[in-house]
Amino acid sequence: MDGPYTRLTEADYDTKLREMGNYLWELEQELITTDARQDETTAGQVHQKISRLAAKADRFFGVPGKHRLLAAYVSGLGLRMIGQWADASDRFLNVLKLSPTNGEAWLELSWCLAETEHWEECEMAARRGTEFFPETGAVWGNLALALEKLGRAAEALTAVHTALRLDPQDTRSKELLARLEAGDTAPRAK
């Protein structure tokens, strides 16, 4: 295959993928804003831009080289941003195959697994994420949610307290804490 991307150097791939990743963060903020305004037309346009960037990163992943780790991560971010949780999980797993100590990928994977209700896998990914980011509330919140869904309320309570200590404004963790304190925990996932 001698397509347009095979003539790029590793430095070219790295630069382009970093630019794409930065643009994805901007697009995610735009998507959040348009969703809040209930502007479906603009949200659809932003969704398409994100989808195209994720697809381009996937094409970069298909070209051999060291850049594949970043390509998988950028693709996973884009897919996560547009709610394609299972596909995003696959991309973050690709990152982890190439770099098992990539804390960002463990954090993102735990989020995607929570969204797809794969609770045992979410717990494992979140625990790995806490090893790399012990001071990040989001990963502790993902762990707490997984533990709650697995019927382990006491452990979930400890994790959600950690999440809220680190990020006191996290609405999802606040709601989980209220459920746990009320004893209104989810049944064990099958």
What pLDDT, in 10s, does the model give residues 54-71? 999 999 999 999 999 999
| 183 phi-psi bin (left φ>0, alpha ψ -120 to 50, beta other) | left
pLDDT single digits (tens) 96-145 = 999 999 999 999 999 999 999 999 999 999 999 999 999 999 999 999 99
CATH class for the domain made up of 109-190: mainly alpha
Cβ atoms of 55 and 90 within 8 Å: the answer is no
Alpha-carbon separation of residue 3 from 6, 24, 25, 45, 86 (angstroms):
6, 24, 28, 27, 28
pLDDT single digits (tens) 5-54 = 557 899 999 999 999 999 999 999 999 999 899 999 999 999 999 999 99
Question: What would the two tokens of residue 155 be?
Answer: 């452990």
